[in-house]
Amino acid sequence: MIGEIPGVTSGQMFPNRRSLHDAGVHRPLQAGICGTSRTGAESIVVSGGYKDDEDHGTVIVYTGHGGRDPQSEKQIADQSLADPGNAALVTSYLEGLPVRVIRGAQSQSPNAPSAGYRYDGLYSVTSFGSRMGNDGFRVWQFRLEALVLTDQSSAPYSENLPLQPEGAPIQRRLVTTQRVVRNTGFARQVKTWHRDQCQVCDTRLIVPGGTYSEAAHIQALGAPHHGPDIVGNILCLCPNCHVLFDSGAIYLRDDFVVMAGNSEIGPLRLDPRHHIRLAFVQNHRARWRY
């Protein structure tokens, strides 16, 4: 289950890993990452298991799975993105999915609880990469930033994260969750049908961990457009074509020819399983007075 667990609030304490499991907050009893490459990461536990971690409160640098000697807790081999836990965090990054964060008392961070485990709410994976770890082997690391869900598309946005005073409660950065709310099951279905290939330009972006595309709503979500989040209102586009489409630089005719101004760009690539509703195409055109 991705996202918040009903009945569990941020800041809630748990005595041990078994109780986290029983509440559904973090299901594995020992592993730090829960999830798969297909679904993304559900949750992570930050409890000092890897010395390359950094916990700045609203920002966490979390080290992936693998390469560690269970006895000495030292890295004895390079980590790999093929490790299922690491691959899950890549999917969370690519799809903008929220990750539950739990802090454990064993972490050295001032943000850690004094005993047991504390659920600290949802974070977003904002970047990832690899570097040489303290023990001389390659580690993969994921930057996570605290997320506050908001319906306000015009929510304040702070590019510079304030430094966290030691011991202070974790201040949450207010962010827009456009990418999160747009990664519904319907968006995923459309992207699966098109295998991440752009319906306008046929680009399929290859990135470490898989392929990438974006779900573009034809009639935009939210006020003032109020488009629905259904497959008939979604296109599978590359990021460039997504920007062009959302800004009205390109649009669709009723015969699904892609237009730029008065010029025909070419036919939209269609899939028989994916029925695009013309009402939304017409709404998109009207928005740009085409």
Partner DNA sequence: GGGCCCGCAGGG
Partner DNA sequence: CCCTGCGGGCCC
**Residue 78 touches DNA, criterion: CB under 7 A:** no
Q: Which of 5, 10, 23, 28 binds DNA (CB under 7 A)?
A: 28
Q: Which of 25, 58, 75, 85 binds DNA (CB under 7 A)?
A: 85
Distance in Å, CB of 170 to DNA, minimum: 17
**Residue 50 touches DNA, criterion: CB under 7 A:** yes
Residue 88 or 241 having the CB closest to DNA: 88
Where b means 16+ CB within 10 Å and e means fewer, 195-213 reads: ebbbbbbebebeeebbebb
Burial of 120 (0-12, 13-18, 19+ CB in 10 A): buried
- How many binding residues for DNA (CB under 7 A)? 40
**Residue 21 touches DNA, criterion: CB under 7 A:** yes
Residue 22 or 151 having the CB closest to DNA: 22
- Listed ranges 38-46, 92-100, 188-196, 249-257: which one lies at the site for DNA (CB under 7 A): 38-46
Distance in Å, CB of 187 to DNA, minimum: 21
Residue 143 and residue 160 in contact, taking contact as beta carbons nearer than 8 Å? no
- Listed ranges 66-74, 160-168, 256-264, 271-279: which one lies at the site for DNA (CB under 7 A): 66-74
Distance in Å, CB of 14 to DNA, minimum: 9
- Listed ranges 33-41, 168-176, 195-203, 204-212: which one lies at the site for DNA (CB under 7 A): 33-41
Q: Which of 2, 25, 58, 65 binds DNA (CB under 7 A)?
A: 65
Instruction: Report which residue type is found at 218.
Output: I
Distance in Å, CB of 61 to DNA, minimum: 9
Residues 6+ apart with CB under 8 A from 279: 219
What's the gap between Cα 172 and its chain centre?
17
Burial of 84 (0-12, 13-18, 19+ CB in 10 A): middle
Q: In this structure, what token pair is assigned to residue 48? A: 């000092």
**Residue 45 touches DNA, criterion: CB under 7 A:** yes
**Residue 36 touches DNA, criterion: CB under 7 A:** yes
**Residue 104 touches DNA, criterion: CB under 7 A:** yes
- Listed ranges 49-57, 128-136, 152-160, 211-219: which one lies at the site for DNA (CB under 7 A): 49-57
- Listed ranges 32-40, 130-138, 159-167, 278-286: which one lies at the site for DNA (CB under 7 A): 32-40
The whole-angstrom separation of Cα 130 and Cα 75 is 14
Residue numbers at the binding site for DNA (CB under 7 A): 16-18, 21, 27-38, 42, 45-50, 53, 62-68, 70-71, 83-85, 87, 104, 106-107
